[in-house]
Structure 1
Amino acid sequence: MLTNAAAKAAGAHSRAYKLHDQGGLHLLVRPTGTKSWQQKYRWRGREKLLTFGQFPEVNVARARILQAEAKEKIEQGVDPSRRVAITVDTLEQLGRAWYRAKRGGWSAAHAGDVLGSLERDIFPELGEQTADAITSRDLLEAIRAIEARGCRTSAHRVRQRLGEIFKFGRAEGLVSANPADDLGAAMLAAPPSFPHAALTTIADCRALLAACELDEARPLTIMASRFLALTAVRLAALRGMVWAEIDFAARTWTVPAERMKLSRAKKDDARFDHVVPLSEAALFVLRGAKNMHRADAAMHDLVFPGRVKDKPIGAGALRELYIRAGYAGRHVPHGWRASFSTILNEEMGPEWRFDIDAALGHAGKGKVEAAYNRSVQLDRRRAVFDRWAEILSI
């Protein structure tokens, strides 16, 4: 039988594996270090699988309680995986029910943003009101309070989320109308969107990295900045990066599909993991980061943690670094992707365009291009990253 200590000590391997407890209950340990409780059972002759949650949020004792509850349902003739009917009364209850239903398809960052906006701007004033009694005027007043702070983009996002909450409520038979339907007609227009600020010459890119080296930020923050520049990944991919994703021998970093900007169906499919060939310069940064970790660092530990070991580097840490370096309004962390694409397309020419796009994890728009990008083409992509590291480091 498993203990909490054994579950905590279980490290990530190159392949997922199971630690068995009792009665079909086991802990699935994935290569990313994620540990999920699962229960095998048979229902009407078919083998099925229940997931009870992740360790350590669900500890051994709690997992066994959930296992017992599932077995009790089976004995009562109820499939434990069958969805229980939702019952809500207030807007906050409805909003949280919608959030729980959708959470699995979102990244942790997006889920936090969604729930945070509701908890900040909607639940305090309207959360206790009966969901089916909420009027358009009620919602509009909450939206206008957001607009009054000068946050027009946020106001439109909250309006969209309210619309989805009430659509969910109508589909579940919990509310009779969607009072968010016509809010857009009474709202201020959203401000125009602009591309992420990005440097477009290699000399400026080198100068920014040099300026960052002189900053008094944490060494791991400066390393994260340089690694982001060398790999041109999205910031969310870097923030969630764990040692199990790095293959030093093969010189690759495999970003799980769940952290890529993909549809939910693709996020659940390992075939859409993004393989990033690592240049020697990128590997040098990783070795330096590894030297700054404890000697007993586990494979599921974050490569670039924040000030708290189990939390990723702050979402704004690199942006603030660039501001202090004197590049406010000129470059942001996401801008490395534009710098990478713009400079390399000029440097390497049109025959490398597909490889540069594939290196960024972009899916092609045409059938031929999409097929090309789905084939891994590691050698050509490695040449792209090696050339980028070469010109960035001169």
Structure 2
Amino acid sequence: MPLTDVQIRQAKPGPKPRKFSDERGLFIEIRPTGSKLWRYRYKIDGVENVFAIGEYPEMGLADARAERDRARALVKQGRHPAHVRRLERARQKVENQSSFKVVALEWIATKSNVSESYRNQLTRAFAKNLFPYIGRLPVREVTAAQLLECLRRMESRGATYYAIALCNWLSQMFRFGVRTLRADADPAAVLYGAFVRKPIQHSQPMSAADIAKFREGLQSYGGFRTNTIALELLQLLFLRTVEIRRGRWEHVDLDVGLWDIPVELMKKGRRHLVPLPPRAVQLLRELKGITGGGELMFPGLRHPDKPVDGSTFNRALERLRMKGFTCHDFRATASTHLYESGLFRTEVIEMQLAHAEENRTKAAYNHAEYLQERRELMRWWQEYVLAAGN
């Protein structure tokens, strides 16, 4: 006679295991400890076997019967349910180790020929735009349509260029998956051309009027003082934003008026000397009173042990209503006006812009050879921008 849930619930343990049969081989075993275990008895090739289904009450009567029926179907095929379950668990374990997220992180870890910041960029791109949606899927099952949906989501928020870059990274990752026998093809390859890159807006120099507007805006800027200092330093020193962001106090000598940026902090991987004009020294002394207690000149607010976020200074520039300009345009501005002045040699201007010198021996020599001229250049540039702002 079939069991009822009331019978199972009220059944008490005895000094020895007790068995209560349901039907079609299903029974529940009640052990002296009080555990109630579902079992399925079956025969294959005349040999009786018992398959452990689950434990009551985590698995109720209806679920136990459903699991029994699945096991019976396997038995009819001559397959032992326990063997099938072990195979499924092994397969699932492999799939878990071959999920999109796992393979992506492994691929990123293999890129030993890139900088740590670049690997962090890759990790953030995948973590933000892909892992929440397809991270748990077996990499072999990820389709081009799923990838396209993720990339379109990026496009809709205006990150088209980023989506194009991520599509390229995806293709590299899937090829890695193929090489490690966890993917069969590269579904990202068919997405090439699905996104249209907007025309590149090249850096544009500020006119004297733009410089005046910028400096006027600095006077009334209501944001963090560190951001104001950073923007003015970007104008005075025309460094790349990443070089300002990652600046460390140990590399600055305010008494000598020199910022000696080591190769590991330069985009081009070459040491760069930055003569500091008086206004820059003044700003850096003020900044040191704010952030000088740490190693970083511009630490992040949430993570003081890491540089401020890359978009911080551009957002500050937007709040100054400098429409159409980015922080990188300070470099184009300095380059344009320095060349137009006719006062400085091309080699000196290019050296101060930290443009690549093909001959490394010559580059090392020029650092010292041009230093005095570069000091004069930086002082002239300071006077030019201060005059434009008056």
TM-score category (smaller protein): 0.5 to 0.7
Structure 1 vs Structure 2 CA RMSD: 2.6
Give the corresponding residue for 1:55. none
Structure 2 residue corresponding to 1:290, chosen from 275, 288, 291: 288
Give the TM-score taking structure 1 as reference length. 0.66
The Cα offsets for residues 121-164 of structure 1, whole Å up to 9 and x where unpaired, read as 22222211222333334323333333344432222111011012
- Letter matched to residue 391 of structure 1: Y
Q: Which secondary structure state, in structure 2, belongs to the residue aligned with residue 288 of structure 1?
A: helix
The Cα offsets for residues 252-303 of structure 1, whole Å up to 9 and x where unpaired, read as 21223223223xxxx4xxxx22221212221111111122346xx25xx212
Query: 1:93 Cα deviation (Å)?
Result: 0.5
Name the CA distance, whole Å, in 2 between partners of 1:209 and 1:104: 41
Give the corresponding residue for 2:188. 180
Give the corresponding residue for 1:322. 317
Give the corresponding residue for 1:191. 198
| Aligned partners of 1:233 and 1:360 also within 8 Å | yes
Name the CA distance, whole Å, in 2 between partners of 1:319 and 1:176: 42
Query: 1:91 Cα deviation (Å)?
Result: 1.0
The Cα offsets for residues 165-208 of structure 1, whole Å up to 9 and x where unpaired, read as 123334445434322222214x0322121114541x23431431
Name the CA distance, whole Å, in 2 between partners of 1:104 and 1:332: 30
Name the CA distance, whole Å, in 1 between partners of 2:148 and 2:314: 33
Q: Which secondary structure state, in structure 2, belongs to the residue aligned with residue 254 of structure 1?
A: strand
1:342 aligns with 2:336: yes
Query: 1:307 Cα deviation (Å)?
Result: 3.4
The Cα offsets for residues 200-256 of structure 1, whole Å up to 9 and x where unpaired, read as x23431431232122112222211111111111111111111110112343221223
Name the CA distance, whole Å, in 1 between partners of 2:351 and 2:181: 44
1:224 aligns with 2:230: yes
Judged with a 3 Å threshold, the aligned counterparts in structure 2 of structure 1 residues 104 and 243 are, in CA distance, closer, same or farther, namely farther
Query: 1:344 Cα deviation (Å)?
Result: 0.6
Q: Which secondary structure state, in structure 2, belongs to the residue aligned with residue 153 of structure 1?
A: helix
Q: Which secondary structure state, in structure 2, belongs to the residue aligned with residue 307 of structure 1?
A: coil
1:381 aligns with 2:374: yes
Q: Within 5 Å, give how 1:128-147 maps onto structure 2.
A: 128-147=136-155
Q: Within 5 Å, give how 1:249-328 maps onto structure 2.
A: 249-262=255-268, 267=269, 272-293=270-291, 297-298=293-294, 301-308=295-302, 309-328=304-323
| Aligned partners of 1:251 and 1:279 also within 8 Å | yes
Q: Which runs of 5+ in 1 are unaligned?
A: 1-86
The Cα offsets for residues 331-386 of structure 1, whole Å up to 9 and x where unpaired, read as 2211111111011110135x622211111111146x6xx76544313222222212
- Letter matched to residue 328 of structure 2: H
- Letter matched to residue 90 of structure 1: S
Name the CA distance, whole Å, in 2 between partners of 1:91 and 1:157: 18
Percent of paired sites with the same residue: 24
| Aligned partners of 2:231 and 2:317 also within 8 Å | no
For this pair of structures, how many residues does the alignment match? 288
Name the CA distance, whole Å, in 2 between partners of 1:91 and 1:293: 41
1:101 aligns with 2:110: yes
| Aligned partners of 1:88 and 1:174 also within 8 Å | no
- Letter matched to residue 188 of structure 1: F
Give the TM-score taking structure 2 as reference length. 0.66
Give the corresponding residue for 1:48. none
| Aligned partners of 1:107 and 1:258 also within 8 Å | no
Q: Within 5 Å, give how 1:17-96 maps onto structure 2.
A: 88-96=97-105
